[in-house]
Amino acid sequence: MNINRADLSEDALSEFTDNDFLALSASLQDRPPLEGILPSISVPCLLYVGENDGLLEQVKRCAPLIPGSQLVTLPGLNHPQSLYEAEQALSHVVPFLDHASIQ
């Protein structure tokens, strides 16, 4: 993956350089396809993704493979924003956890 720092905004450059490079490196490694793993998940799962996230379509394909999972899209958010805008996610996470703990 080649990143031209001159093409990044100041905010994007700051976000990139603040990441843990070991974690970034690990995320680029070959891994087994999720399609074989997701159906074996047996705990309640809430997946959330920003509607402007580059992973949106992948998450939409994965969600139905997890039995009983719930998918929430967060309006107007990209990948980092969906992590940083915790209130939007928590408005879905808290009710999900409340319901999951009842069962």
User: Structurally, how many domains does the chain consist of?
Assistant: 1
Query: What pTM value is reported for the model?
Result: 0.66
Dump pLDDT digits (tens) for 31-46: 777 888 999 999 999 9
Query: Which residues neighbour 82 within 8 Å (Cβ) at sequence distance 6 or greater?
Result: 48, 49, 50, 53, 74, 88, 89
Where b means 16+ CB within 10 Å and e means fewer, 4-42 reads eeeeeeeeeeeeeeeeeeeeeeeeeeeeeeeeeebeeee
Does any domain span residue 21? no
- What's the mean per-residue pLDDT of the chain? 85
**In this structure, is residue 76 part of a structural domain?**
yes
Backbone angles phi, psi at 49, to 5 degrees: -150, 140
Asked whether residue 96 is domain-assigned, the answer is yes
Structural domain range at position 56: 33-102
Indicate whether 88 belongs to any domain: yes
Look at residue 14 and tell me if it is in a domain: no
Q: Are 37 and 67 spatial neighbours (Cβ–Cβ below 8 Å)?
A: no
In a domain, 17, yes or no: no
pLDDT (0 to 100) of residue 36: 86
DSSP state of 5: G
Among 15-19, 62-66, 93-97, the minimum mean pLDDT is found in 15-19
For residue 48, give both structure tokens.
């959330």
Is position 43 within any domain? yes
Query: Is pLDDT above 80 for 84?
Result: yes
